[in-house]
Amino acid sequence: MLKRTGVASPEDIKGVTPSLERLSKGPIAIIECFQKIPCNPCYTACPRQAIGKMNDINDKPVIIPENCNGCGICVSRCPGLAIFVVDATYSETEALIKMPWELQPVPQKDSIVKTLNRAGEPVGEGRVVLVQDGRFFDRTKIIHLAVPKQDMMEVRSIERGTFK
Ligand code: SF4
Ligand code: SF4
């Protein structure tokens, strides 16, 4: 499915979805990188050895859930924009997603935006909690987006034109 449509299959996503137990412990990176490609900045950037050793640059990255604290550094370093952080513990009703953003315009904090799934289809609405653009995130901005908890494994982008 990925090769044909560019969109990951439900099986692919299931394979990288953290356990409910791990999700209940706080933020974790979700690496949606499903093909063997010569790339490893996620692995070299992680300060917590939370991505398993990549012996070959073509190896697919694999998260080590107990080492990841959801810092998001890998999100900004991935040239494929394939890494997201999900925090299912953000609030009773909402999860927080940290997602890469390299487009213009950049949404402002507190904007209400339309959310999109991996295929670019509408999911619902989200609230921009923070746009991170600091020393560790100089190449790619990181949007912190609060979404209804049931959308946390669906939402992977926002619709341009739904914010200023
Ligand atoms: S979110 Fe932080 S700790 Fe987790 S894999 Fe990415 S860089 Fe490592
Ligand atoms: S940096 Fe991104 S594209 Fe490259 S191996 Fe890591 S997850 Fe895949």
Q: Which residues sit with their C-beta closer than 6 Å to ligand 2?
A: 31, 33, 39-42, 61, 78-80, 82-83
Residue 113 CB less than 6 A away from ligand 1: no
Q: Which two tokens stand for residue 114?
A: 């339309």
Protein residue with least CA distance to atom 4, ligand 2: 39
Beta partners for residue 63, in sequence order: 51
Which pair of structure tokens corresponds to residue 96?
């927080």
In which residue ranges of the chain is pLDDT below 70? 1-5, 134-138, 164
DSSP run (H or E) holding 98? strand 94-101
Ligand 1 near 46 CB (within 6 A) = yes
37-57 residue pLDDT tens: 999 999 999 999 999 999 999
Task: Please name the residue whose Cα sits nearest to atom 7 of ligand 1.
Answer: 46
69 backbone dihedrals φ, ψ, rounded to 5°: -110, 10
Q: What pTM was estimated for this model as a whole?
A: 0.94
Ligand 2 centre and the CA of 124: distance in Å? 28
Exposed / middle / buried, residue 56 (Cβ in 10 Å: 0-12, 13-18, 19+): exposed
DSSP state of 128: E
Measure 92 CA to ligand 2 centroid, in angstroms.
32
For residues 143 and 137, what is the distance between their CA atoms, to the nearest angstrom?
A: 11
Give the span between the Cα atoms of 150 and 68, in whole angstroms.
22
> So what's the pLDDT on residue 3?
61
Residue 7, pLDDT score = 84
pLDDT of residue 29: 98
143 in contact with ligand 1, CB cutoff 6 A = no
